[in-house]
Amino acid sequence: MTKQEYLKAVEKLKKWAYAYYIEDNPLVTDEVYDKLYHEVLDYEKEHPEDIDFTSPTQRVGATLKDGFQKAKHLSRMWSMEDVFNAKEFEEWMARIQKNFPNERYYIEPKFDGASLNLIYENGLLKQAITRGNGVEGEDVTNNARTIQSIRLEIEHKGLIEIRGEVLMTKQEFERINEERAKLGEPLFANPRNAAAGSLRQLDPKTVAKRKLIFQPWGVGVHDLTLEYLSEVMDYVYNLGFRKPPIRRVCETVKEIEAIYDELRKMRDSLDVMLDGMVVKVDRFAAQEALGYTVKSPRWIVAYKFPAVEKQTRIKDVVLQVGRTGVITPVAVLEPVEIEGVIVERATLHNFDEIERKDIRIGDMVIIIRSGDVIPKIIKVLEHFRTGNEKKIERPNECPVCKSELLDEGALIKCQNLNCSARVVNSIIYFASKQCLNIDGLGEKIVEQLYNEGLIKQIEDLYSLTMDDLLKLEGFKEKKAKNLLKAIENSKGVECWRFINSLGIEHIGEVASKKICQTYGLEFMRLSKDELMALDGFGEEMAESFIEFMRVNGDKVARLLEIIQPQAPEQEEIQESAFTSKTIVLTGSMSKSRGEIKAMLEKMGAKVTGSVSKKTDIVIYGEDAGSKYEKAKQLGVTLMSEDEMWERIK
């Protein structure tokens, strides 16, 4: 780096830091920022005489935003030195151990949120101040008061600064971004920016609506006379603050590395974002002796995790056709590595989402991939646009079968039941775990069978022969035999698996189970009433089921014939006056209607939702309305709740 390049880099960092700290709207990912930051740092180490005193390496945070009162911290707030791998971490440890060979280290996760200092006096929250430039920050006391996990009163009566991170859960972040997209507001890049932006809303009512969390990690001024930071933190957490998922005291690099691995594994399952682990010298006396640089304590280090957010470019958009015909747009990306996995695609969900987020081909975007979750685009970095980006058009023709598409707004569908993509995907679904669970019949093999013309529809699976399979590439006798056996074994499956495997819209595993528990194998000709009498069934579900059976009745009958699913064992029926009767419940009763319904069903009654000529009895509670009247009109037997209990006795 030349001096000129150095000065340019400093300007760039300052611009990025301003967008990040003041506007909560980063222009680049942390990874990109950190890379340049470290290049600048390296240059400054070699050329101390050139250091620009406004360089981000020389100060905490950035200048302050207008709008809030400024307020001074009682003691300074700091930034942290960071390391990115075991080697860098060991070098840091070695530097400490040179003068302090036998120290203990206190470890907590590094929470990725916005720093906040809470000042308590006489047991009351007096002031809440953002980190700002470390000396003074913004007074956000009124906002902090709306955060449930910030105590307004604590047992400790002395003066104490409790410091921590304001966090937003991953779920809340998604919710707020959805909301912002609908309103056409710019999206937050990640939960950290969302938390920081929310904490600095001028209206506390808006802050209260966003579920923020306060997670302590340290103290400033305090009057506790303890020897170790870990003891002070025990004290703080016991005042009633949220505890971190892991906190440990240990002594060796090996122990610390083990905690790092443990935290990394835990990372995805937590509801808030971690971007690393923080290692601190535990003994206060040693901390003081080690001291501070212009920007950070020498006794703390942030041992960062690999980034889960990357910036990359959208090269193209391709369309996938699912088994229900729904077209899902998928972004083809310039490949990037995230935690050891090369990511080349990200889902775009649907076309409304593309429009809401104004995603274009050629755009630079931030993507996130955490755990097994499909990579997602969280934000378009619009300032990278050159004007050559292309809008993504809503398709009107199926990319696979070319038939005309049905555009329902959020969803665009291929309606052609014979569309090969739909057929292949529905067979894959049919064989999947939550359906017929046919071992060895995965995506690739279904495609292979279909492309070779061996199967055209689900039924064809059951007439596959050894000869057929042996013709296929990659099939030897054993594999073929196993597959045929697995297909054969799928005969006689539980009834609910059979229904679930049909892939009826709105009818999933739970609904399939409900249908089979109540009606066994007699599900093909169920009426709307009968379906709506099932717990959790609404009109949409009932109609979808009936429509499916109307259109595909013959096919379902053929499959039933081949597969012969098993009905669940019926519980023994308790005979009573209600056995085999069709009953409607109305009005408010002494127990919930669900409970009474379940009780009657055990006696072999059919409990439906609306009164018709087919209804045998209407049982009414208090304030019964239109159903009571209708029963009267139709001459259906009316029975009060009390009478019902009489008869059951």
Ligand X SMILES: NC(=O)c1ccc[n+]([C@@H]2O[C@H](COP(=O)([O-])OP(=O)(O)OC[C@H]3O[C@@H](n4cnc5c(N)ncnc54)[C@H](O)[C@@H]3O)[C@@H](O)[C@H]2O)c1
Residue list for the binding site? 30-34, 79-80, 108, 131, 165, 280, 304, 398, 401, 414, 419
Q: Confirm if 299 and 286 have CB atoms less than 8 A apart.
A: yes
Report if residue 400 touches Zn ion, rule: CB under 5 A.
yes
Set 110, 310, 597, 627: catalytic member:
110
Unique residue bearing structure tokens 């069903």: 601
Output 427-430 pairs: Cβ under 8 A, ≥24 positions apart.
427/455, 427/457, 427/458, 427/461, 428/323, 429/323, 429/501, 429/503, 430/458, 430/501, 430/502, 430/503
- Residues that bind Zn ion (rule: CB under 5 A) add up to a total of 6
What is the smallest separation between the CB atom of 42 and ligand X, expressed in angstroms? Answer: 16
What, of Zn ion, ligand X, none, does residue 565 touch, CB below 5 to 8 Å by kind? Answer: none
Binding segment for Zn ion (CB under 5 A), chosen from 59-67, 229-237, 400-408, 598-606, is: 400-408
Distance separating alpha carbons of residues 291 and 297, to the nearest angstrom? 6
Unique residue bearing structure tokens 């646009």: 385
Annotated binding residues for Zn(2+), written as ranges, equal 398, 401, 414, 419
Q: Whose CA is closest to 575, among 593, 598, 594, 602? A: 602
**What are φ and ψ of residue 162, in 5° steps?**
-105, 125
Nearer to ligand X, 378 or 541 (CB): 378
What is the smallest separation between the CB atom of 340 and ligand X, expressed in angstroms? Answer: 20
What, of Zn ion, ligand X, none, does residue 108 touch, CB below 5 to 8 Å by kind? Answer: ligand X
Chain positions contacting ligand X, by CB under 6 A: 16-17, 20, 26-30, 33-34, 61, 79-80, 82, 108, 110-111, 115, 131, 165, 217-218, 278, 302
What is the smallest separation between the CB atom of 194 and ligand X, expressed in angstroms? Answer: 14
Site string for Zn ion, 414-453 (x = CB under 5 A): x-x--x----------------------------------
Q: Which residues of 439-462 are buried (b: 16+ CB within 10 A; e: fewer)?
A: eebeeebbebbbeeebbeebeebb
* DSSP-assigned states of every residue in 365-418: EEEE--TTSPPEEEEE-GGG--S--EEPPPP-B-TTT-PBEEE-SS-EEE--TT
CA 50 to chain centre: 46
Is residue 110 annotated as a catalytic residue, yes or no?
Answer: yes
Nearer to ligand X, 108 or 530 (CB): 108
What, of Zn ion, ligand X, none, does residue 198 touch, CB below 5 to 8 Å by kind? Answer: none
Binding segment for Zn ion (CB under 5 A), chosen from 166-174, 354-362, 398-406, 518-526, is: 398-406
Nearer to ligand X, 299 or 430 (CB): 299
Among 181, 249, 381, 401, the residue binding Zn ion under the rule CB under 5 A is: 401
CA distances to 211, 213, 222, 283 from 289, rounded to whole Å, are 40, 34, 19, 10
Nearer to ligand X, 244 or 565 (CB): 244
Report if residue 22 touches Zn ion, rule: CB under 5 A.
no
**Residue 443: left if φ>0, alpha if ψ -120 to 50, beta else—which one?**
alpha
Distance separating alpha carbons of residues 358 and 360, to the nearest angstrom? 6
Residues at the interface with Zn ion (CB under 5 A)? 398, 400-401, 414, 416, 419
- Enzyme catalytic residues: 110
